[in-house]
A and B are shown apart, each in its own frame.
Chain A
């Protein structure tokens, strides 16, 4: 069973160099707030929202759930017809936010909100909430971690078999990042040489499951699928490896855009950036906290050991050239 988000975290648990705030310091919210929530995370986000509602009985929170891309398309359509409904959009990936922010141009986020985040996660018109990192998941009965290069581009020179999910948003963000870092040509030839030894799956959970069944040696997937599968089946022969400073360990984030600015909307977002919510997301959903002083989830190295590349996450929404490249190389 799940623990209540606000019940477990103790303020004294970890040192906090940058002063993350606690829910206790926040004012009580009241009034009506419409939240468009990209994917529900199966009750985990639910627990957070329930806890927020419980602490703020005068808050009437209306939640519309859907896939992040569908909600992004909806928000764009609403703004085109001049009928915006959502106060806040909480999306699971930066590309949906980049798309919404690029088309609807919401107001600049106030400085005291962005200041809560680590400097590299501060954006002008939206706020990252939690991170997910690209990983190589490998079958530990088939190979050793040492046989995996620390450069994602060098994977093309190994003779492992791979599992990937080219139609899946997170994979497309990874290829977009590779395009931005390495350029079209290198990405194209990487895809071409990888293609022959890669098996397609519909989603990245499928990739991780196939790796644990030894259908493939190595899979491309966001980190939490492996952690969740291992939580259910601890005997699974899978482990995580990380490349360094390249698209292979891209750190993508979930995040929020405030579409109709108000004190209430800002207070709501501030709740998501408290130490309690952040450590709850890390503990229960295996998400990477983006504040100082909150521990990474179990099973992941600390963020200081990981070396994600510097990428403008808003540019990950530019998927058209990525799809063209994936098609041209026969991957999609």
Chain B
């Protein structure tokens, strides 16, 4: 397999670039001293506990919804899917603050209903809220894996008399394990690097301490703590490496028929999840909008939010392709993939600072859109690589070999044969990056060109100042953009699939 070696070399280079910020962290951390206190173990426990619970919660929601929106005969399937992915566009502090303000004694929701609701705080509250805003990661990676499943085995199981549920549990789920694991890894990296949700809901995690140091001008100590967090991330990456499945070639799609009650249950669950993740923030911020009025939003912000995210999404998929190819070969390639995952686990403020130091060395690069895009690529690379790697592993090598045998060059074989097979994965990976870039804040604030304002920076401004009424409109716009983007993604995916089948 000598023909694949360029991808390994290329991804080695990409891996080293991703690690450049880590090198900056090492130099920033030199000479730092931490106050030794008994808190470190508590921090480690909290960080791991909230990560584990969030992965559990997000899987519990994400996997069934992935199956329901991929293989079940639900009405308006793509419409639900587009809305179900939208929580990824809601910034974490908005989600965290919504639940802080809505629940508990005297909460906004309690005032609407006329009685007090239990509070959503601490470890369980943080895990619950984080699950609500990360489950689409698992939904999309699982969906990409489901799309690749061979329907004939499913049909075989069903023709032998297996029920839908039995088929699901024994035939479908074992074979999408690596898709679920890819989403679970992303969820755990998110949970470890997020600052706002645990801070607002009162849970002490590594990232919160990093922010405290950073905000007290202890850049060296923030860097040192980030390096400690990297060790924890390394352990999680190692855990993920224990999960793998056999490759499989997609033949044809399949459907799991639902009984009437099952269909109603599925729709009910979808509605409940949407209400909790999207309806709740709209309701809470809507209450403030009515109470204290809003302000007009500059329509230019919509475009300013969309195009950098689009550029970053495309760039991330392009950079992610060689890494995914190398990873699909296993061995060193898989370790390179884990190496590029590190960026998603480093808190944004730390990654931003590291890239600021990199950018300042190159005058024409500093405070340009290019630097911002590079920052987002480095941070969100694993979002694109995971789905791509799975798709490549499962695409039919024989067809590609046949194309090459018939005289197609490496590029032509890729363009006409491989690419259509992995396109759905490229689209889901790109969509994940697009949504994450839209809601990303710390990196954007630090690296953007001076004067580039987005819906997310606008949301942050009004939120920080406590003018929640004015957060409602930008929040709804973010949800609208993400839903439209996901609908477009689904349309494009269908066209390529049907085009490829001809």
Please report A residues at the B interface, Cβ cutoff 8 Å: 1-2, 34, 39-44, 62-67, 69-70, 72-74, 77-78, 80-81, 83, 85, 99, 167, 169, 172, 200-203, 205-206, 209, 212-215, 225, 228-229, 231-233, 317, 319-320, 322-324, 327-328, 332
If A167-B208, A319-B216, A323-B218 touch, whether A77 touches B464 (CB-CB below 8 Å) is no
Contact B216 A320 (CB under 8 A): yes
Contact A74 B100 (CB under 8 A): no
* Interface check B275, CB cutoff 8 A: no
If A62-B451, A167-B208, A167-B211 touch, whether A42 touches B217 (CB-CB below 8 Å) is no
Interfacial chain B residues near A80, Cβ < 8 Å: 360
Interfacial chain B residues near A213, Cβ < 8 Å: 104-107
Q: How far is the CA of A42 from the CA of B466 in the complex (A)?
A: 8
Interface residues on B, range: 35 or more
Q: In the complex, how many angstroms separate the beta carbon of B45 from the nearest chain A beta carbon?
A: 17
Q: How far is the CA of A225 from the CA of B349 in the complex (A)?
A: 26
Contact A327 B461 (CB under 8 A): no
Which residue of chain B lies nearest to A167 when distances are taken between CB atoms in the complex?
Answer: B212
Q: In the complex, how many angstroms separate the beta carbon of A175 from the nearest chain B beta carbon?
A: 11
Interfacial chain B residues near A317, Cβ < 8 Å: 217
5 contacting pairs across A/B (C-beta < 8 A):
A65-B445, A72-B217, A202-B200, A323-B35, A323-B213
Within 8 A of A (CB), among B92-120: 100-101, 104-107
Q: How far is the CA of A8 from the CA of B98 in the complex (A)?
A: 36
Q: Contact flags (1/0) for B65-83 with A, using CB distance below 8 Å? A: 0000000000000000000
Please report B residues at the A interface, Cβ cutoff 8 Å: 35, 37, 39, 100-101, 104-107, 199-202, 208, 211-219, 288, 291-293, 295, 349, 352-353, 356-357, 360-361, 363, 366-367, 442, 445-446, 450-451, 453, 457, 461-467, 469-470
- B462 in complex: contacting residue of A42, A201, A319, A320, CB < 8 Å: A42
Interfacial chain B residues near A231, Cβ < 8 Å: 292
Contact B100 A206 (CB under 8 A): yes
Q: How far is the CA of A62 from the CA of B199 in the complex (A)?
A: 32
Q: Which 4 A-B pairs have the closest CB atoms?
A: A213-B106, A42-B465, A40-B461, A42-B467
Contact A83 B106 (CB under 8 A): no
Contact B367 A85 (CB under 8 A): yes
Q: In the complex, how many angstroms separate the beta carbon of B367 from the nearest chain A beta carbon?
A: 7
Contact B200 A206 (CB under 8 A): yes
Which residue of chain B lies nearest to A228 when distances are taken between CB atoms in the complex?
Answer: B466
Q: How far is the CA of A131 from the CA of B417 in the complex (A)?
A: 66
Q: How far is the CA of A62 from the CA of B367 in the complex (A)?
A: 13
Which residue of chain B lies nearest to A83 when distances are taken between CB atoms in the complex?
Answer: B360
Q: How far is the CA of A167 from the CA of B202 in the complex (A)?
A: 11
Q: How far is the CA of A126 from the CA of B446 in the complex (A)?
A: 23
Q: How far is the CA of A72 from the CA of B107 in the complex (A)?
A: 36
Which residue of chain A lies nearest to B464 when distances are taken between CB atoms in the complex?
Answer: A39
Q: How far is the CA of A2 from the CA of B293 in the complex (A)?
A: 10
Q: In the complex, how many angstroms separate the beta carbon of A47 from the nearest chain B beta carbon?
A: 10
Q: In the complex, how many angstroms separate the beta carbon of A2 from the nearest chain B beta carbon?
A: 7
Which residue of chain B lies nearest to A43 when distances are taken between CB atoms in the complex?
Answer: B295
Contact A324 B35 (CB under 8 A): yes
